Chains A and B, each alone.
Chain A
Amino acid sequence: MEERPCALLLKFPGTNCDAETARALEAVGFVTEVLPVSALKPEKLVGVSLVVFSGGFSYGDYVMSGRIASLVTEQKIGETLKDFRENGGYLLGICNGFQILTQLDLLPAGSLVENAGGRFQCQWVKMKNLAPKSPFLSHCPPEFELPIAHAEGRLVTRDATEAAGYVKSGAAALVYVDDVNGSFERIAGLQDETGRVFGLMPHPERFMKARDHYDPDWDGGEGGWGSGYYLFKSLFQAIKEGEAGEP
């Protein structure tokens, strides 16, 4: 029987998108496990291909979004996530998960701070795929839409030139077409230098089917799938191909 790659979704107090993210991952072929952070140990990553930090408001966003979750993760498993990445593992952070990944220093240096408008924003956004070879975006079109829902999604770096460098180097894998929240260089998603760590503010798990789109006549192409499906599908294919290529 064909073995399916396993995705481990970490759940913190306040994480609230883990169930729908697990459903999205299962729809493309992953086996999933949602793990409360209280049960997190280095051994839990054995046999796992993908670690996911889902959206929500971990620890009530106290101190700053993602901060306590990143500290607790580090306290529980230390450098294990970095070793996991070095050994070929994939990490995905969505919304609050993206904030956690930046705090864990698994992505290029940056912080997600309050939107420039000072408000929680819940809307659909259009993005440009700047990394069509990314394992997370290879099946996604050059431009696509996803919903956002965040108060702290404005990506800032130490200075503006650093963010411009991310666009140049390819670290900025996704950028908003419009200036949505004041993010430097309109960055919506970042990847690390290996390409196996990816974080984004929009929610791909909320646009798995064409019927999830705000326009009832939206035609996304074959199969009635939404843009989020293609992101997860890209990842599944990359992991399967990687496993097939292993000696």
Chain B
Amino acid sequence: MREIYEISDRFIEAGDANSLLYEPLAGGLTYRHTRRYELDYEGEKTAMEAFVRKTLLDEISQDLHAGEDAALKDYGFALEYGMKPGALDLEKEAILNYYRGISAPGFELKELRIRQRIYLFGGKGDDSGRFVRDICNAAIHQWKVLPGHV
């Protein structure tokens, strides 16, 4: 079975997207960042969800969105990126090490994929290439650009 969760920060407002770039763009783009977790598992869904809430979510400052559709709306485009298979993903390793230390988790975590999402708001035209160039590293990252949801 597979479940997808996306976590967004409740208190962090959209920031100036130029802070992500080496050279500023005209057009007043802003961005928000989310983390997306895809879990392949067997066993109890409630146990798996409890694990996700305890491990990956901060109930005070974050929102959890379940499902494949985007957690945020009205964006111009979004850049999703993560580590390539085989590249060392330290966040994934830290989560899996913790999972392996749980005596009776109630589910078996078969695979965990972690992706970062940068949602871009405002602006005109397709500037996604600039963000791919300045944020992603072809040696270690996989990425895709998601079309706008306006």
Check A60–B60 contact: CB distance below 8 A.
no
Check B9–A75 contact: CB distance below 8 A.
no
Residues of A within 8 A of B142 (CB): none
User: Considering the chains assembled together, what is the distance between the CA atoms of A113 and B11 in angstroms?
Assistant: 8
Check A60–B9 contact: CB distance below 8 A.
no
Residues of A within 8 A of B11 (CB): 113, 154, 156
Segment 55-105 of B: residues with Cβ below 8 Å from A: 55-56, 58, 60-62, 90-91, 94-95, 98, 101-102
Q: A64-B58, A156-B11 are in contact. Are A118 and B19 (CB under 8 A)?
A: yes
A71 interface residue (CB < 8 Å to B): yes
A59 interface residue (CB < 8 Å to B): yes
A107, chain B: closest CB distance, angstroms: 12
Residues of B within 8 A of A111 (CB): 58, 60-61
Residues of B within 8 A of A168 (CB): none
Total A-B contacts with CB atoms under 8 angstroms apart: 50
User: Considering the chains assembled together, what is the distance between the CA atoms of A113 and B35 in angstroms?
Assistant: 15
A48 interface residue (CB < 8 Å to B): no
User: Considering the chains assembled together, what is the distance between the CA atoms of A247 and B63 in angstroms?
Assistant: 50
Q: A71-B55, A75-B101 are in contact. Are A63 and B95 (CB under 8 A)?
A: yes
Contact of A67 among B9, B15, B58 (CB under 8 A): B58
- Interface bin, chain B: 20 to 34
B150 interface residue (CB < 8 Å to A): no
Residues of A within 8 A of B56 (CB): 63
Residues of B within 8 A of A59 (CB): 90, 94
DSSP majority for the B interface? mixed
Check A110–B60 contact: CB distance below 8 A.
yes
Check B61–A67 contact: CB distance below 8 A.
no
Contact of B55 among A67, A113, A158 (CB under 8 A): A67
User: Considering the chains assembled together, what is the distance between the CA atoms of A144 and B58 in angstroms?
Assistant: 32
CB-defined interface of B42-59 with A at 8 Å, one 1/0 digit per residue? Answer: 000000000000111010
Residues of B within 8 A of A68 (CB): 94-95, 98
Check B60–A157 contact: CB distance below 8 A.
yes
- Interface bin, chain A: 20 to 34
Residues of A within 8 A of B55 (CB): 63, 67, 71
Check B95–A113 contact: CB distance below 8 A.
no
CB-defined interface of B5-46 with A at 8 Å, one 1/0 digit per residue? Answer: 000010110010001000000000000000100000000000
A37, chain B: closest CB distance, angstroms: 12
Residues of A within 8 A of B60 (CB): 109-111, 156-158
User: Considering the chains assembled together, what is the distance between the CA atoms of A75 and B19 in angstroms?
Assistant: 38
Contact of A62 among B15, B54, B90, B102 (CB under 8 A): B90
Check B94–A118 contact: CB distance below 8 A.
no
The 3 closest A-B pairs by CB, nearest first: A62-B91, A111-B61, A111-B60
Binding site for A on B (CB under 8 A): 9, 11-12, 15, 19, 35, 54-56, 58, 60-62, 90-91, 94-95, 98, 101-102
A-B contact list, 10 entries, CB within 8 Å: A60-B90, A71-B55, A72-B98, A72-B101, A75-B98, A111-B60, A113-B9, A118-B12, A154-B11, A156-B61
